Amino acid sequence: MYTITGTAPPGEAVVYPDSDGKPMADNTKQYRWITTLQGNLDLLFADDPAVFVAGDLLWYPVEGDNRTRIAPDVLVAFGRPKGDRGAYRQWEEGGIAPQVAFEILSPGNRMQEMAQKFDFYDRFGVDEYYIYNPDTFDFSAWVRRDGRLRAADFTDGYVSPRLGVRFELSEEELAVYYPDGRRFLSFVELGEARQAAERRADDAEQRAHRLAARLRELGIDPDKEN
């Protein structure tokens, strides 16, 4: 979803649409990466009421201009409250631009489109910009230094200054890790991990019941305090 620049016709009320009519993703792989990043980042900052995370949300940086807009695949805005929005209208957000933006590439992306996106993020104040191609495993990172987005060095992995998450690129795929070392998991993987934890808890409870029953057989009350 690339940038369209311009202004609304003079004298007309400015409407800021909540949708640009374009799909969030072109294929299942791109969609899975978008939802995995958005969901895990939302979880990472779940206890911080002043961090807003969104996926495929139109961002309008200039009041009165409904054509200068972009919909990052994932955005993170520090200093903004959580909550539902139809679009991110920067003048209604304390003038705060999203500090972090992600783009997940699909075969339909073109070089000109990506160049326009980079110019947009550079111009309107994004501090960190990440691009990942899940088909070729190409990963690029830019961080704002001296007022411009500059390429980051991630030869041995890269830790986001803003997010605190670590990116590691192998020949097979990009892996993203929480600050405590846990890997970002997809929705399915999170569900499987929860089910495994529930099974372990059930097994532990059953073992405790069996042990208590055995103690009673031996004339020992397991519920009696020493």
- Alpha carbon of residue 72 to chain centroid: 10
In this prediction, residue 3 carries a pLDDT of 44
Same domain, 80 and 133: yes
- What is the token pair recorded at 220? 């020992």
Write down the pTM of the prediction. 0.79
Same domain, 152 and 98: yes
Same domain, 148 and 69: yes
Count: domains in the chain: 2
Same domain, 128 and 192: no
Same domain, 41 and 121: yes
Same domain, 120 and 195: no
Share the mean pLDDT of the chain: 87
Same domain, 121 and 211: no
Same domain, 169 and 221: no
Q: What's the pLDDT band for 13 if we cut at 50, 70, 90? A: confident
19 found inside a domain: no
pLDDT digits (tens, 9 = 90+) for 85-122: 999 999 999 999 999 999 999 877 788 889 999 999 99
Same domain, 84 and 176: yes
Same domain, 129 and 50: yes
CB atoms within 10 A of CB 32: 16
In this prediction, residue 224 carries a pLDDT of 74
**Strand ranges in 117-212 using DSSP code E only, listed in sequence order:** 128-133, 138-145, 148-151, 158-159, 166-169, 174-177
Same domain, 72 and 153: yes
116 found inside a domain: yes
Range of the structural domain that residue 56 is part of = 28-184
CATH code for the domain in which residue 159 is found: 3.90.1570.10
- What is the token pair recorded at 156? 């041995």
159 found inside a domain: yes
When pLDDT is averaged across residues 203-221 and rounded to a whole number, the result is 73
Distance CA(34)–CA(24), nearest Å, equals: 9
